[in-house]
Amino acid sequence: MNKVVECVPNFSEGRDKAVIEKLADAIRSVEGAELLDVDPGADTNRTVFTIVGAPENVSEAAFQAIATAAKLIDMSKHSGAHARMGATDVCPFVPVRNMTMDECVELARALGKRVGDALEIPVYLYEYAASTPKRRNLAKIRAGEYEGLAEKIKKPEWKPDFGPAQFNARSGATVIGARKFLIAYNVNINSRNQRLAHNIALDVRERGRWLRDDNHKFVRDDNGERIRQEGLLKECKAVGWYIEEYNRAQVSMNLTDFEVTPVHAAFDACRKSAESYGLRVTGSELVGLIPLQAMLDAGRYYLKQQNQSTGVPENVLIDIAIQSLGLNEITPFVPEEKIIEYRLSGGKRFGKLVQMTCDGFADELSTDSPAPGGGSVAALCGALAAGLTAMVGNLTSDKREYSEVKSQMIDIADEAQKLKDAFLADVDRDTDAFNELMDCFSLPKDTDEQAETRRNAITEATKKAALIPLDVLKRSLRTIEIAEIMAQRGNQNSISDAGVGVLSALCAAEGAFLNVMINIADVDDKQWVEKTRTIAVETVYKVRKAADKALQPVHKALNIRGVHK
């Protein structure tokens, strides 16, 4: 799969729609860089752009936007609620797919040098690209903001990493770096009081606040230094502000590592702090995009709080997260627009085959086109098997008489949902692989070089076409194993459903096996063929044995005898 990087430049303009559109046009002018999101704020007077694509294309788009901002934004006339020090205030690169952090660091440094040299804008590097540990933290670089930059830049310790070491009155300075995915997240409170919102921010942010005694004086250590009281949340930066546009105060947070401090933890921490001041959290707002995993984690967290099963479909988890976090309070939260993975796939979770109706898929299958074919059908059978397994788990977990196995049932249902989604993805992957193989046969073969290129392309495409059903085959085994647990320990009123799940997974496995075998027959790489054949044969044997074992408790419970004559 191709490399994909995200870049999230923040520009100090959130009110002039014409300027914002020209910045967007500069990004759109670069082929191979996709502008996923434009999120302006009038009170902050700041707009966050989200760009994704191939590294070189995204870097070029970022440069064109920075150059446009230098022409259109005059920092000497700028004001806004958000801290800032430049027309392009900050421009981070974030690894998305097949990208390392080191590669993002190289992108940041190359862009920083280009901006400094070509545009004569002072550039500082931050986070993973920082030239010194002191400059890793964005807040420290930006301390004093634009107004303090003229004096700050004169100090040797604040010499820019790139560009002139002199004050640029029009453009200020730009901070470029590489970081993990940052979630810009604002929590709303039922007050217009900025000070109260900031008190919550001080409670929750990692750096906390200066400790004070009962007389409200700073508490100092033996050396006379002020003592800091750490906040509740790691990897969290926060301030409190009042947004006139919303007629309310917010706790504005940057969650710099959502695996350390997830969105739901930040929301709940703000809620608890707000209650201590007699306030209520009324909802929240996402600025820019959010990773799918963050939303799924939030959905699972709140379902667990309700003592409900987390083994539900992805869209249900997302809906629970939206409701629980109050993400619709200010503006509608549209998953297809706000979740980065959905944006990268055009807002679709799966390919066009999976999006069809049942009759539409069956009709398409029945035509004289060779794809979709048996491989896609095998994957679909696997998805149905995993779906039935999840269903039995959910029909068991909420029953009092099965309380002893509740936790196990939820865990299995959760796993079954993941298996189901993987099978569904393979429905289209199998057909796409077949179509790619057919395309290879159309490659030119007029010269020896062309013929060799064509042969190699056909071989690699054929291998890919074999490995997808091999994945289906392997996954079918696990599906049968967990379906057996459902048959043995799950709700006995649904034992026939567990049995149909086993049979559907067996069908998926046998169908996938046939597709592996027909594809490897045309591969010249004998060593690879033998290895793949061995794995397939051994796995389908395990599947048959597991299916026979899994059906025994089903047949026993249903008093079925004499079916194996």
Residue 217's CB: how many other CB atoms inside 10 A? 8
Q: Read off the pLDDT band of 445 (50, 70, 90).
A: very high
* 191 and 161 fall within a common domain: no
Q: Give tens-digit pLDDT for 385-427.
A: 999 999 999 999 999 999 999 999 999 999 999 999 999 999 9
Residue 332 burial (10 A CB sphere; 0-12, 13-18, 19+): exposed
Residue 170's pLDDT is: 96
Contact 365, 372 (CB under 8 A): yes
526, containing H or E segment: helix 526-557
Contact 176, 111 (CB under 8 A): yes
- Highest-confidence range of 342-356, 496-510, 548-562, by mean pLDDT? 496-510
Amino acid at 387: G
Rounded alpha-carbon distances, angstroms, from residue 199 to 238, 244, 272: 10, 19, 12
Residue 522's pLDDT is: 86
Contact 14, 80 (CB under 8 A): yes
Per cent of the chain over pLDDT 90 is 87
* 442 and 543 fall within a common domain: yes
Is residue 287's pLDDT more than 70?
A: yes
Rounded alpha-carbon distances, angstroms, from residue 527 to 117, 167, 178, 464, 520: 53, 65, 42, 16, 11
Is residue 565's pLDDT more than 60?
A: no
Q: Which of 360, 334, 336 is nearest to 349 (CA)?
A: 336
Give per-residue burial for 444-457: e unless 16+ CB within 10 Å, then b: eeeeeeeeeebeeb
* 18 and 158 fall within a common domain: yes
Q: Read off the pLDDT band of 563 (50, 70, 90).
A: low
**Residue 262 preceded by cis peptide, ω within 30:** no
* 510 and 456 fall within a common domain: yes
CATH code (residue 385): 1.20.120.680
Amino acid at 368: D
**Residue 160 preceded by cis peptide, ω within 30:** no
Contact 185, 236 (CB under 8 A): no
DSSP code of residue 310: -
User: For residue 490, how many C-alpha atoms fall within 13 Å in the half-sphere facing its CB?
Assistant: 31
SS3 176: strand
Residue 215's pLDDT is: 84
In a domain, 353, yes or no: no
- Per-residue pLDDT averaged across 189-210, rounded? 96
pTM score > 0.85 for this model? no
Is residue 564's pLDDT more than 60?
A: no
In a domain, 563, yes or no: no
Going by their DSSP bridges, the two strands 4-7 and 88-97 should be labelled as: antiparallel
Residue 261 burial (10 A CB sphere; 0-12, 13-18, 19+): buried
CATH code (residue 193): 3.30.70.670
Tracing tokens 């479909």 back to the chain, one arrives at 313
CATH code (residue 78): 3.30.990.10
* 239 and 266 fall within a common domain: yes
Cα–Cα–Cα angle for 245, 251, 257, nearest 5°? 125
* 98 and 193 fall within a common domain: no
- Per-residue pLDDT averaged across 480-492, rounded? 96
SS3 332: coil
In a domain, 351, yes or no: no
Is residue 379's pLDDT more than 80?
A: yes
Contact 511, 374 (CB under 8 A): yes
Is residue 144's pLDDT more than 60?
A: yes
Contact 462, 447 (CB under 8 A): no
Residue 562's pLDDT is: 64
In a domain, 565, yes or no: no
* 512 and 547 fall within a common domain: yes
In a domain, 239, yes or no: yes
* 502 and 366 fall within a common domain: yes
Q: Please provide the average confidence, as pLDDT, over all residues in the chain.
A: 94
Contact 541, 548 (CB under 8 A): no
* 253 and 206 fall within a common domain: yes
Hey, CA dihedral for 46, 104, 267, 294, is it positive or negative? positive
- Per-residue pLDDT averaged across 330-335, rounded? 94
Contact 135, 141 (CB under 8 A): yes
Domain hosting residue 265, numbered range: 183-344
In a domain, 119, yes or no: yes
Total tally of structural domains belonging to the chain: 3
Single out the catalytic residue among 89, 268, 428, 430: 430
Is residue 196's pLDDT more than 60?
A: yes
SS3 237: strand
268, containing H or E segment: helix 263-276
- Per-residue pLDDT averaged across 475-500, rounded? 97
| Domain boundary residue, one of 344, 378, 403 | 344
430 is catalytic: yes
Give per-residue burial for 398-415: e unless 16+ CB within 10 Å, then b: eeeebeebbebbbbbbbb
Q: What is the largest CA-CA distance in the chain?
A: 92
Structure tokens given for 255: 């969650």
* 187 and 172 fall within a common domain: no
Q: Give tens-digit pLDDT for 514-560.
A: 999 999 998 989 999 999 999 999 999 999 999 999 999 999 999 98
Q: How far is it, in rounded angstroms, from Cα 526 to Cα 513?
A: 18
DSSP code of residue 551: H
Tracing tokens 């952090």 back to the chain, one arrives at 101
Tracing tokens 């196995």 back to the chain, one arrives at 405
SS3 435: helix
Q: Which of 140-154, 164-178, 227-241, 332-346 has the lowest mean pLDDT?
A: 332-346
Q: What is the rounded end-to-end Cα distance, in angstroms, of the chain?
A: 49
451, containing H or E segment: helix 448-489
* 336 and 187 fall within a common domain: yes
- Per-residue pLDDT averaged across 143-165, rounded? 95
* 132 and 220 fall within a common domain: no
Is residue 431's pLDDT more than 70?
A: yes
Single out the catalytic residue among 39, 82, 421, 471: 82
| Domain boundary residue, one of 317, 344, 371 | 344
| Domain boundary residue, one of 178, 199, 228 | 178
SS3 225: coil
Q: Give tens-digit pLDDT for 32-87.
A: 999 988 999 999 999 999 999 999 999 999 999 999 999 999 999 999 989 999 99
